[in-house]
Amino acid sequence: MRLLAGLAESDASVEGVELGAYEAPTDAMRDEFPYGRFPDVKFNCNGNRVVLEAQLATITLHGINGRRAFYDRSGACLLWVMRNFDPRGPMRASVRDIVADQSGSLFSLDSDIVALSRGDGVFRLRVWTFLGAGHAEPWEASVVTIAEAASLARPVRWSDDFKRRWIEEYKGSSYGGPGKIDPFGMLNELAARAKLPPFERSSSGECMLALVRLLISLEAGFVTGSGHPQLISIANNFNNNGGYRAASLVRMAIERWQPRLLARTSMQNALARAKDELRTSGVAEWGRLSPIGLMRDALFPDWDLSKPEQASSSRSG
């Protein structure tokens, strides 16, 4: 860890190097991550916050996912760095998990890279990229600066970009307002990503649009796509246009991101109404293979469901 910190401090593009310093959750993250982290090394590089985790011992997949989710939510770039990594030998399962987490790449520090970095004061890492088992040489190695490593570590995912664009367009206002991008255009971009046919402007399409709006708003911690100022207002109305069939999904989303809403009488009443509607109508609740379930998976790839899959995959209301 001290070696990484020392190399970072010598690089003119790096500032604010801290070793083992506490990283507190942001206010928006606090419900999901009440406790912070102690990254091995953190600093700023070309306007980006970078976190280095020196992976010297085995780590569980849960530990990898937990760190990734925390730093993704906080806006920091997480780089896993190993010492003297060589993919041509035996590879632990935890190392394979880290490679998968970094989109097929792994960063390494060895004596040659240390000497090169110390020679001109530019912090570098060796990046190993997995090309695929079908290649004669499945791994490719190159040398990158720390700024280049930060851009390679985790390319911006479609889901994160989509939610960013949605929030920029619809935060604090109705998505039907003048000058706004057609929300059905965005909904059908999401539908295409989930391998679904486009939605029409109908009650079922409005239902899907409202549920997507609710999920994005719950994660963000503020209302998007509506003139209502409070999350509870759009959460209470999830039943509209057949949305009662998403009752379990809505409850899980609230439990995950905004659990305090469940203490509100109006929210409990909305969930109770959904339960009554399901009982009265006799239709199956929407599950993971339903349109909203598939779109949820496309929007939130890190959401690991804790409940068994619901059975219905029907699109009809």
Residues 180 and 129 in one domain: no
Taking only the tens place, the pLDDT of each residue in 55-98 is: 767 788 778 878 888 888 788 889 999 999 888 778 888 888 88
Residues 37 and 66 in one domain: yes
Residues 90 and 145 in one domain: yes
pLDDT at 306 over 60: no
Taking only the tens place, the pLDDT of each residue in 90-123 is: 888 888 888 887 878 889 999 999 999 999 999 9
pLDDT at 156 over 70: no
Residues 121 and 206 in one domain: no
Confidence at 308, pLDDT banded by 50, 70, 90: very low
Q: Check: CB of residue 127 under 8 Å from CB of residue 105.
A: yes
Q: Check: CB of residue 38 under 8 Å from CB of residue 22.
A: yes
| Range(s) of the domain holding residue 214 | 158-299
Confidence at 155, pLDDT banded by 50, 70, 90: low
Mean pLDDT for the stretch of residues 186-214: 96
Give me the percent of the chain exceeding a pLDDT of 70: 93
The predicted structure's pLDDT at residue 137: 87
> Does 304 reside within a domain?
no
The predicted structure's pLDDT at residue 313: 36
Is 34 or 10 the better-scoring residue by pLDDT? 10
> Does 132 reside within a domain?
yes
Domain boundary among 122, 137, 153: 153
The predicted structure's pLDDT at residue 262: 96
Domain boundary among 90, 124, 153: 153
Residues 38 and 149 in one domain: yes
Residues 162 and 124 in one domain: no
The predicted structure's pLDDT at residue 56: 64
> Does 139 reside within a domain?
yes
Q: Which token pair is 286? A: 């929407």
Residues 164 and 295 in one domain: yes
Taking only the tens place, the pLDDT of each residue in 285-305 is: 999 999 999 999 999 886 753
Residues 16 and 124 in one domain: yes
pTM of the model: 0.60
Residues 120 and 200 in one domain: no
> Does 308 reside within a domain?
no
Domain count, the chain: 2
Could you tell me the CATH number of the domain that includes residue 56? Answer: 3.40.1350
Domain boundary among 125, 153, 181: 153
The predicted structure's pLDDT at residue 316: 36
Burial of 117 (0-12, 13-18, 19+ CB in 10 A): buried
Count of other CB atoms within 10 angstroms of residue 194: 16
Residues 96 and 139 in one domain: yes
pLDDT at 311 over 60: no
> Does 52 reside within a domain?
yes
> Does 116 reside within a domain?
yes
The predicted structure's pLDDT at residue 61: 75
Q: Check: CB of residue 199 under 8 Å from CB of residue 317.
A: no
Residues 169 and 101 in one domain: no
Residues 261 and 144 in one domain: no
> Does 278 reside within a domain?
yes
> Does 94 reside within a domain?
yes
Report which of 169, 250, 259, 258 is spatially closest to residue 207, judged by C-alpha positions.
Answer: 250
DSSP-derived secondary structure for 51-64: EEEE--S---HHHH
The predicted structure's pLDDT at residue 154: 65
